[in-house]
Amino acid sequence: MSKQLTPLPVGSVVKVTGSDQEFVIISQMPVTEINGQQGYFEFGAATLPMGLVSQEIIFFNSEDIDQIVYLGYIDVQFQEFANQYEDLSATVQYKKLKITTVDNHQEARSEVFGF
């Protein structure tokens, strides 16, 4: 999906490219570590309909979103956050992470990452 609304509010339900599963956004800009490198993704999410199970959080970025199924909770605090999002993301001290894998045809492709 091009030109994604960023950020999406907590409670938003999305489908990501390459998956039929729906995910509910539960965090903004979560920091995690992959292969010894700390960084952040734009969103942390849980699977539906079960929600957060075994502390498994799915990480992805706006460019990974294929469809917005439901737009989550928007209040004054979220609107202020959204208005400052560009400035906040520019000051983040971590690298923005992106998960790619190499398939049998040696093409890099994005993949939802969770653990």
**pTM of this structure:** 0.79
Which pLDDT band holds residue 103 (cuts at 50, 70, 90)?
very low
CB-based contact 45:57 (threshold 8 Å): yes
pLDDT digits (tens, 9 = 90+) for 14-71: 999 989 999 999 999 999 988 888 999 999 999 999 888 888 899 999 999 999 999 9
Residue 72: what residue type?
G
Which pLDDT band holds residue 100 (cuts at 50, 70, 90)?
low
Distance CA 49, CA 58 (A): 14
**Domain definitions of the chain by residue range:** 13-114
pLDDT of res. 2: 44
Vertex 49, ends 46 and 52: CA angle to 5°?
30
